[in-house]
């Protein structure tokens, strides 16, 4: 598996986790817990932004993609 494929796999996993956090935040009435889940979801968004940037970098700079 290539680095790019590994990053894409992790990005998809992050998307699933982000959804789980959203469901958990929605499912609780405890405002502090809800905020923690929302903060965790925001952290995952930052991770996903970084991973997406790495994927784009690899797409543009990988010798196998340049013709």
- Please state the domain extents for the chain: 3-61
Q: Which residue has the tokens 């979801």?
A: 41
Write down the pTM of the prediction: 0.81
Residue 54's region, left for phi above 0, alpha for psi from -120 to 50, else beta, is alpha
Question: CA Rg, the chain, in Å?
Answer: 16
pLDDT by residue for the chain (67 residues), tens digit each? Answer: 588 999 999 999 999 999 999 999 999 999 999 999 999 999 999 999 999 999 999 999 877 665 5
Q: Which residue has the tokens 């690899």?
A: 58
Q: Cβ(14)–Cβ(45) under 8 Å?
A: no
């Amino acid at each position: 598996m290539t680095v790019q494929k590994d990053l894409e796999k992790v990005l998809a996993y992050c998307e699933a986790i982000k959804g789980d956090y959203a469901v958990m935040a929605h499912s609780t009435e405890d405002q502090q817990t809800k905020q923690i889940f929302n903060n965790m979801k925001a952290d995952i968004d930052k991770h996903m932004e970084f991973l997406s940037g790495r994927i784009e970098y690899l797409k543009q700079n990988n010798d196998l993609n340049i013709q």
